[in-house]
């Protein structure tokens, strides 16, 4: 099991319930592909470095999890088509 971190930027113009549903979908994807969530950081609303889909702000979430090596590719392929997700990135955490 490797340690990973999934960074997700969610649309800031949607309701709180919809935003929570998007984060729940992300968590469900991780668990569906055999991952175990260890921590979720909610950074709240932040200004984007550049405009994405005519939006200047987004909600940032960082989800740390443990999973097999094949899981991140599957998770990213599903994240690509999710509504209200502006950007995402899944990286492996290597502790030195």
- Report yes or no on 70 lying in a domain: yes
Q: What are the pLDDT digits (tens) for 32-84?
A: 999 999 999 999 999 999 999 899 999 999 999 999 999 999 999 999 999 89
- Report yes or no on 25 lying in a domain: yes
CATH (domain of 13): 3.30.70.60
What the block records as the tokens of 75 is 């998770």
Q: How large is the C-alpha radius of gyration of the chain?
A: 13
What was the pLDDT predicted at 1?
87
How many domains would you assign to the chain? 1
Its pTM surpasses 0.95: no
- Report yes or no on 14 lying in a domain: yes
What was the pLDDT predicted at 96?
53
What was the pLDDT predicted at 37?
94
Per the structure, the complete domain to which residue 38 belongs is given by 2-48+61-83
- Report yes or no on 56 lying in a domain: no
3 pLDDT above the threshold of 70 = yes
Reported as a pLDDT band with limits 50, 70 and 90, residue 87 is very high
- Report yes or no on 94 lying in a domain: no
Maximum CA extent, the chain: 40
Q: What are the pLDDT digits (tens) for 18-30?
A: 999 999 999 999 9
Only one residue has tokens 């955490």, namely 93
For residue 18, the number of C-alpha atoms closer than 13 Å in the C-beta half-sphere is 11
Closest CA to 61 of 43, 87, 79: 43
């Amino acid at each position: 099991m490797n340690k990973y971190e999934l960074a997700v930027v969610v649309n800031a113009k949607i309701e709180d319930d919809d935003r929570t549903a998007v984060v729940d979908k992300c968590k469900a994807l991780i668990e569906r592909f055999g991952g175990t969530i260890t921590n979720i950081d909610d950074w709240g609303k932040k200004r984007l470095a550049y405009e994405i889909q005519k939006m200047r702000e987004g909600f940032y979430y960082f989800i740390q999890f443990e999973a097999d090596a094949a899981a991140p590719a599957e998770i990213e392929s599903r994240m690509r088509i999710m509504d209200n997700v502006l950007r995402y990135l899944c990286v492996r955490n290597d502790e030195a």
